[in-house]
Chains A and B, each alone.
Chain A
Amino acid sequence: MQSFVSSLVSVAFHGLAYGMILYVISVGLSVTMGLMGFVNLAHGVFAMAGGYVMLTAMNRYDVPFLLALSIAFVSVAAASILLERLLYARLYTAGDLEQVLLTIGLIFMAVAVARLIYGTLQQPVHLPAYLKGQFSLLGRDFPAYRVFLIAFSAVLVAALWFGVERTRWGAKVRATVDNRPMAQAIGINTSRLFTITFALGSGLAALGGGLGADITAIQPTYPFEHLVYFLIVVAIGGLGSLRGPFVAALLIGVSDTACKYWVPQFGAFFIYAATIALLLWRPAGLFGKA
């Protein structure tokens, strides 16, 4: 019995940590795709860029971890404003297919550029000493890095929820997403609002890429390899919701970990089966507006 409780704790912890990684790397997409309605398949490009920026700063210039992470957030958000003005803004009113084609093209270009600059090997991640090793609680050891991930993501979730649901900016974004012409008519500068929101989404992606770098390796094909996970999280969570992707990421993280732990023969298959089942049950996602 005690060993069962102990394994339950393990599964809950690792599932939570994995769910948080999924959430952190996908939350940016739930902002651009979920809130702004732009099918941004190139989301992973921003995450990868964030990872590269952070690791370059750390490995080449000895910048401390948290500072490097902030640099990644700021620089990728800034770069994305340029992209948004040059490319994305032109396709806000276009159909899904055009958006998909543009962003898939961006992925191919980003993969080639990353390979040209950094080569094909993954970038080494040297975490600071306080994130290495284990963290003792109630006689059990928890990996410090994963504890940090969980805590950081929890703060992020709270901040985002507060920002979108409780601030003036959040209200404007929601108004613009619901009815753009009407929002413009009452004096909201929607194009600037979207630029800022897009930059936030990309910055969050960069944060996710940097934070998760020790588990989701930073290498050129990153945007392709994790695309399916981003999309699953956003699809299950439901478009236009911020709570949704959070619940979805946790659900997937915990159930995937439980499956790996107790019935490893099912392997990676489970996550897809769960996605199919959930979407059959609620085609618009858990919290989506049908």
Chain B
Amino acid sequence: MRIKLMACIGAVALVAAAGLATAQTVKIGVLSTYSGPTAAQGDQLDKGIKLFMKLNGSKLPPGVKVELVVRDDGGANPDNAKRIAQELIVRDKVNFLTGVVWTPNAAAIAPLAGEAKVPFISMNAAGVAIPYSSPYFARVSFTLWQSSYPLGQWAAKKFKRAYTVVSDFAPGHEAEEAFTKGFKEGGGEIIGGVRIPLANTDFAAYMQRVKDAKPDVLFAFNPAGKQATAQMKAYSDLGLDKAGIKYIGPGDLTTDEELPSMGDAALGVMTVHHYSAAAERPANKAFVSAYKKEFGQNLNPGFMAVGAYDGMQLIFDAVNSLKGNVDPERIMAFIKSYKNPNSPRGPIAIDPDTRDIVQNEYLREVRKVGGQLANVEVETVGNMVKDPWKQFNPKK
């Protein structure tokens, strides 16, 4: 009996000691895409994280250390992502999960993080419904409803007939749905739409189809990257611009890092998005110049780099405010009331009800600034926009 009691006390003491020890080293599990055809996206996240660590990595309470455990998911592959997240939770015992480029991966991880009570902060994955699947999920990136719905409302004031071309996967469907709703509510008419497979390389046939339908405006969504560039080139090659068809979409269409590849074809394209490297805010200027200094003068940070940077900021703010005591409940309470007035993209906050990002949405036009193409912010079409989809579809 006595021995048993002693053993119990010993065990409790051990657990307590272990608890103390882990409280001093905060482990952050980063899951991102470092290899495979979509490694360019993961690279953006990686640069955002590295830049944050370099500038702010030591701004922690005394005695507290942060350790990053970085894993490669190899692209959109939910099974693989789930396995890696499980390893991070069980073997590495991480206090935070973050990173994640792809929605399917985040959707697979979120319930797992909920079960294990590990706060999971999406730096990019934008699938609109993910927060509903886990109370431990929060997002610092964006949803496509946030940009495409106000864009639809704006476009309805200028154009009558729209054609939609989106990538055939969940975010593409969300962008299409959001734009269509906004555009129709404003009195516009959708005269047709195409969903393009993700593995497509030649966009000429699709653009010809659009051209022959003669809309006033073409709404498009691609996952930011080489597809957006290929489609932009097809749009200009086939002379849709000369046929008077305006090209609009969420900011994924003209990401800052792809603009140099697109060339002059992108001039005049209008997008709505939460971040542009060309924005004039002081916080952004400082961010862009630090980024260029670190990674090269020709490189512009894109929205994914900012998502990663802000995600790290949120985690560090949480660790600092809780003095390294990373209890999941307290972290989530902190996240729900989180506000950062000084992100490079302007003020951001986390919506306490949905744990989703709240931010400004800017209407931008691609123009030449000092010989370089840039997404110039023309007006703020939405102030501190909450995700519209969750307002139309509240969690039951």
Contact = CB atoms under 8 A, between A and B. Distances in A.
Given A123-B261, A221-B37, A264 B237 contact: no
A215 B201 contact: yes
Given A18-B204, A120-B40, A122-B261, A261 B209 contact: yes
Contact of A14 (B196, B205, B226, B260): B205
Given A125-B261, A214-B233, A261-B205, A267 B196 contact: yes
A224 B43 CA distance: 19
A179 interface: no
B128 to A, nearest CB: 23
B202 interface: yes
Given A145-B237, A215-B233, A268-B197, A260 B206 contact: yes
Contacts of B230: 215, 217
B76 interface: no
A115 B36 CA distance: 11
A124 B263 contact: yes
B257 A216 contact: no
**Residue among A125, A143, A220 with the highest chain B CB neighbour number at 10 A:** A143
B323 interface: no
Nearest to A267: B197
Interface in A90-109: none
A11 interface: yes
Given A126-B263, A145-B237, A221-B37, A268 B206 contact: no
Interface residues of B, number: 34
Contacts of A264: 194-196, 206, 209
Interface string B224-237: 00100110010001
Contacts of B263: 124-126
Nearest to A122: B226
Nearest to A131: B237
A120 B39 contact: yes
Contacts of A146: 204, 237
B266 to A, nearest CB: 12
Given A220-B39, A224-B37, A14 B204 contact: yes
B208 A14 contact: yes
Nearest to B43: A120
A260 B205 contact: yes
Given A14-B205, A17-B204, A219 B196 contact: no
Interface string B41-62: 0110000000000000000000
The size class of the interface chain A forms with chain B is 35 or more
Given A121-B40, A267-B200, A10 B260 contact: no
A141 B238 CA distance: 8
Interface string B180-210: 0000000000000011110111101110110
Nearest to B202: A18
A265 B205 CA distance: 13
A215 B202 contact: yes
Nearest to A11: B205
B168 interface: yes
A21 B204 CA distance: 13
**Residue among A121, A145, A267 with the highest chain B CB neighbour number at 10 A:** A121
B115 interface: no
Contacts of B196: 264, 267
A267 B195 contact: yes
A225 interface: yes
B244 interface: no
User: Closest 6 A-B residue pairs measured CB to CB?
Assistant: A260-B205, A120-B40, A268-B197, A143-B237, A267-B197, A124-B261
Given A124-B261, A143-B204, A216-B201, 16 more contacts: A11-B205, A15-B205, A115-B39, A123-B261, A124-B263, A143-B239, A146-B237, A214-B233, A221-B36, A221-B37, A224-B37, A256-B205, A257-B205, A261-B205, A267-B195, A268-B200
6 contacts: A120-B40, A124-B263, A143-B238, A224-B37, A258-B205, A264-B194
